[in-house]
Copies of this chain bind each other. A is one copy, B any other.
Amino acid sequence: MSAQAARSARRGRDARRAAREQTAAVSQPYIVRNVPLTELCSDEAIEIIEANADTVLQEIGIEFRDDDEVLELWRDAGADVDGVRVRFPKGMLRQLMATAPSEYTQYARNRDRNVVIGGNNTVFAPVYGPPFVRTSDGGRRYGTIEDFRNFVKLAYMAPAIHHSGGTVCEPVDLPVNKRHYDMVYSHMKYSDKPFMGSVTHPDRAADTVSMCEILFGKDFVAGNTVCTSLINVNSPMVYDATMLGALKTYARANQAVIITPFIMAGAMGPVTPVGTVTQALAEAMAGVALTQIIRPGTPVVFGLFSSSLSMQSGAPTFGTPEPTLVLSAAAQLARRLKLPFRSGGSLCAAKVPDAQAAYESAQSLWPAALCGVNFVLHGAGWLEGGLVSSYEKFVMDIDQLGMMEVLLKGYNASTDGQAMDAIREVGPGNHFLGCAHTQAHFETAFYRSNVADNNSFEQWEQEGSRDTVERANDIVKRMMASYVPPPLDEAKDEELLAFIAEKKASFPDSNH
């Protein structure tokens, strides 16, 4: 065997091992929920919230700042524009929103990984936005483009992650006004899953679309959605020029946006869940309707990022019950609007991936999965209120996402699933380990975690009494070592790199 063949064989072996280590094999590119929805809010309360949101839109209104074009669009559409404050006659926004699709396909460069966002589907994406990264052996430091690539690679390798996401961490080592090229390119190069575009400036959104046109072809992009990008509302009740610019760019290009009220209740919204959801609904309706004014039929997601506030420290808190109530009600409202819905995933305030991190993340992920969220951002890696992308937490969280996939698939009530033959064969007082049914399902019967230690105490002690973080650190290293990039057409790769080089040379670096 040549050295190259040996390397290749080793790579193959490592890749298979890494694949085995992952969650139960995922054959689908996203989850199709097959269990009934969890809906925590009564219809009566939902109707109160809808009526109140209408009142907010009509009486108080929403501000659209520093964007005369948007104000003009609203005026033309029949809204009451008073300075930057826009008020909406009752029913107007619902009428505009009616053209928004209830679900849409976001194409991936590997068509087997296309995701359908909306309906009964759930798509998991990684953490978005942290300026810092943390590893258990390297500590906490600013993120770099190498970290960014690493998280893209980890997300690519994880069957439970369906979407490559966006700012998996901020590559702080690159100039602010140019880092989007490297970020978008990394998603395109190191993964073949669908991804998100830049939103920090309208030009950067336009660059994202241009790069998509190189990757997917200009005609294809004109007719299909190839990126989904994140438009945060400046809650309470303000859209700023940056987000409006990106919104317009993507909507005009028929590319999906997620309109996301970003509410720390008590600071950017009322302290009560019903109040928070009311404000979020009003904010989201305005943004969703705006996308439909710009291009009727353009795909748009009703998003929500909601946390409580520590009334002692003023810091956001996660994994507490109030945001769960907010999330369930918002998901119900989105379904009534026939819109896809987005929320957060494995959120926490913990500084390290310890028990607090896990409790909070599980408390955030459960409602996201059970209440029927269609696009779950921050599904893996989120730490410290979103300030940190954690490598170890990333692999811990993808294990949890894999479990949610099995849970949402629900019951197998076929003859085989009923297992009556097994019960008959075994009978009272005997054990099922050796029976034909158990043997037939031995490999796949139960979700297998690669993070959890299920050994005896004695064996665990013998192996060094290692905690979850230490085991996760091993997994990160093994995954990174066995990463094999998905093939990318060389001509396209060169075209992308040439586009980036030309663009980067055309204006000076800046950190704004």
Chain A residues near B (Cβ < 8 Å):
35-36, 38-42, 44-45, 48-49, 52, 55-56, 59-63, 85, 140, 234, 236-238, 265-276, 278-279, 308-317, 319-322, 324-325, 329, 349-363, 366, 370, 384, 387, 393, 396, 399-400, 403-404, 406-407, 410-413, 416-420, 422-424, 426-433, 437-438, 441-443, 445-449, 451-457, 459-461, 465, 467-469
A135 to B315, CA, bound (A): 30
**Top 9 A-B pairs ranked by shortest CB distance?**
A275-B419, A362-B362, A358-B358, A270-B419, A237-B428, A271-B445, A321-B407, A355-B358, A45-B413
A352 & B467 in contact (Cβ 8 Å cutoff): yes
Q: How far is the CB of A291 from chain B (nearest CB, A)?
A: 20
Candidates B270, B314, B370; contact of A437 at CB < 8 Å: B270
With a 10 A CB-CB cut-off, give which of A270, A353, A429, A445 has the most chain B CB atoms: A270
Q: Which residues of chain B are within 8 angstroms of A469 by Cβ–Cβ distance?
A: 354-355
B419 & A266 in contact (Cβ 8 Å cutoff): no
B270 & A422 in contact (Cβ 8 Å cutoff): yes
A428 to B35, CA, bound (A): 39
Q: How far is the CB of A414 from chain B (nearest CB, A)?
A: 9
Q: Which residues of chain B are within 8 angstroms of A317 by Cβ–Cβ distance?
A: 446, 449, 452, 454
Q: How far is the CB of A150 from chain B (nearest CB, A)?
A: 20
A454 & B423 in contact (Cβ 8 Å cutoff): no
Candidates B275, B311, B455; contact of A417 at CB < 8 Å: B275
A162 to B228, CA, bound (A): 47
Q: How far is the CB of A422 from chain B (nearest CB, A)?
A: 4
- Return 7 A-B CB contacts under 8 Å, by A number: A267-B432, A272-B419, A278-B418, A278-B419, A311-B446, A315-B456, A322-B406
A350 to B325, CA, bound (A): 29
Known: A322-B446, A446-B266, A457-B140. A411 touches B45 (CB 8 A): yes
A411 to B35, CA, bound (A): 24
Known contacts A56-B423, A273-B411, A316-B454, then 7 further A-B pairs from the complex at CB < 8 Å, ordered by chain A residue? A38-B370, A236-B431, A272-B419, A313-B459, A317-B446, A350-B468, A353-B355
Nearest to A37 among chain B residues (CB) is: B38
A60 & B443 in contact (Cβ 8 Å cutoff): no
B441 & A63 in contact (Cβ 8 Å cutoff): no
Known: A275-B422, A366-B362, A460-B351. A236 touches B427 (CB 8 A): yes
A272 & B355 in contact (Cβ 8 Å cutoff): no
A147 to B280, CA, bound (A): 49
B452 & A418 in contact (Cβ 8 Å cutoff): no
Q: How far is the CB of A431 from chain B (nearest CB, A)?
A: 5
Nearest to A308 among chain B residues (CB) is: B446
A442 & B60 in contact (Cβ 8 Å cutoff): no
